[in-house]
Amino acid sequence: MSSSTQAPEVLISEVGPRDGLQSVATTMPTAAKQRWVAALHAAGLREIELGSFVPARLLPQLADTGELIAFARGLPGLATLALVPNRRGAEAAIAAGAHKISLPISVSEAHSLANVRKTPQAMLEELRSVLALRREQAPDMGVEVGLSTAFGCTLQGAVDEDAVIRLALACAEAGADDVGLSDTAGMANPAQVRRLFTRLRQELGERAGAAHLHNTRGLGLANCLAAYEAGVRTFDASLAGLGGCPYAPGASGNVVTEDLVFMFEAMGVRTGINLERLLAARAPLREGLPQEALYGMLAEAGLPKGFQA
């Protein structure tokens, strides 16, 4: 089964070069990152989060984000995405030529203070400042918000669902192009995911954004399926399951891109991604991070007999 000749029905946004690499101690060489990104593009991925514009002393693994964006802009049809925590980061992303930026805003105040040293309300003001900058300098650049800890927080505990929706509405009213939900701490379950994304879509319509889900407790694919059934059509994932949030204790394990693509393709949902080439993209990742553990059930079991990738 292949999606290579038909229009994709879902968008898989690869977050490994940012969310994955920020969580490992080793700094992957820029040339190795470029080979990895080129392999991901060759597999059919059309949106890749390439890094984050934060001080290099905080995340030296991502200090070359601008250089990586410049490289990726030369790959046809690829949307380059960068995470920015504030206006200064947005300025750097604009200078680098990023097609889209993502602003993380935590629903949990405890996580927000640990992650960006600001309250959720202060981050809402930061979003307004970033959107003003976009209007002035880069009107064609996309600005999305990912609501972190939307399903629970290892620091705070339970997160009120009404608070999630209120913050999502505030971000949309401020002018964000779309607002997605992130299971930063890997605490979500399928019923919760379906319920919250259903509410989000009822409130925001097409401005309800991506599902960023983790496999920390083994529910990553089940949660993605629940989000799909609730109408979500954009999913973040990381090749080989690399990554997590360094400011959310125990939040290891992004959804494995290969396993997610396989699930959708096996269901007949087109992703536009060639699975054999996607599995091959693990090789430059392994070469760039030879000491890092790579995960994924599909890579271990292989494609089923007769499955057309």
Instruction: Round to the nearest angstrom and report the end-to-end CA distance of the chain.
Output: 6
- DSSP result, 119-156: -HHHHHHHHHHHHHHHHHH-TTSEEEEEEETTT-BTTT
Between the alpha carbon of residue 181 and those of residues 35, 123, 233, the distances in Å are 30, 16, 13
Tokens of 245: 């949030």
Number of helices followed by number of strands (H, E) in the chain: 12, 8
Angle at 211 between CA 74 and CA 156, to 5 degrees: 120
Is 171 one of the annotated active-site residues of the chain? Answer: no
- Among candidate residues 153, 171, 224, 245, the one labeled active-site is 245
Helix-, strand-, coil-residue percentages of the chain, each rounded to 5 = 45, 15, 40
Residues in contact with 281: Cβ distance below 8 Å, sequence separation at least 6, in sequence order: 36, 39, 40, 42, 43, 239
From CA 45, how far away is CA 236, in angstroms rounded? 11
Active site residues: 245
